[in-house]
Amino acid sequence: MDNTLGGFLQSRRARIQPEDVGLPPYGRRRVPGLRREEVAQLAGVSVDYYIRLEQGRGRHVSDAVLDAVARVLRLDATERAHLRDLARPGQAHTVAPVPGAVPSPAVRPGVRLMLDSFHDTPAFVLGRRMDVLAWNALADALHGFSTPGASRNMLQRVFLDPAAGDIYPDWSAVAAESVAYTRLRAGRHQDDEELEALVAELSAKSADFRRLWDDHLVKEKTYGVKRLVHPVVGRMDFGYETLALPGDPEQMIVVYTAPPGSASEERLRMLASWTAKSAAGVGGHGGRDCPDQGADPAPDRR
Three-state secondary-structure class, residue 38: helix
Looking at the predicted structure, is the pLDDT value of residue 287 above 70?
A: no
Looking at the predicted structure, is the pLDDT value of residue 86 above 80?
A: yes
Report pLDDT digits (tens) over 221-230.
889 999 999 9
What's the pLDDT at 99?
A: 42
| Confidence label for 279 from pLDDT (cuts 50, 70 and 90) | low
For 282, what's the count of Cα atoms within 13 Å in the CB-facing half-sphere? 11
For 247, what's the count of Cα atoms within 13 Å in the CB-facing half-sphere? 12
Give the other-Cβ count within 10 Å of 33's Cβ: 18
Contact between 230 and 129 under an 8 Å Cβ cutoff? The reply is: no
Which sign, positive or negative, has the C-alpha torsion 241, 245, 250, 253? negative
Query: Please, what is the end-to-end C-alpha distance for the chain in angstroms?
Result: 14
The better pLDDT of the pair 99, 169 is held by 169
Average confidence (pLDDT) over 18-41: 82
The better pLDDT of the pair 301, 59 is held by 59
Looking at the predicted structure, is the pLDDT value of residue 293 above 60?
A: no
Looking at the predicted structure, is the pLDDT value of residue 131 above 90?
A: yes
Report pLDDT digits (tens) over 139-151.
999 999 999 989 9
Looking at the predicted structure, is the pLDDT value of residue 294 above 50?
A: no
Q: What single string gives the DSSP state of each residue in 144-190?
A: -TTSTT---BHHHHHHH-TTHHHH-TTHHHHHHHHHHHHHHHHHH-T
Contact between 177 and 171 under an 8 Å Cβ cutoff? The reply is: no
Long-range contacts (CB closer than 8 Å, 24 or more residues apart) made by 261-265? 262/237, 264/235, 264/236, 264/237, 264/238
What's the pLDDT at 26?
A: 66
Helix (H) or strand (E) holding 137: helix 137-143
Query: For residue 130, is it left (φ>0), alpha (ψ between -120 and 50) or beta?
Result: left
Looking at the predicted structure, is the pLDDT value of residue 88 above 80?
A: yes
- For residue 234, the cross-strand partners are 230
Amino acid making up residue 115: L
What's the pLDDT at 302?
A: 33
Query: For residue 177, is it left (φ>0), alpha (ψ between -120 and 50) or beta?
Result: alpha
Question: What average pLDDT does the structure give for the chain?
Answer: 85
Contact between 18 and 25 under an 8 Å Cβ cutoff? The reply is: yes
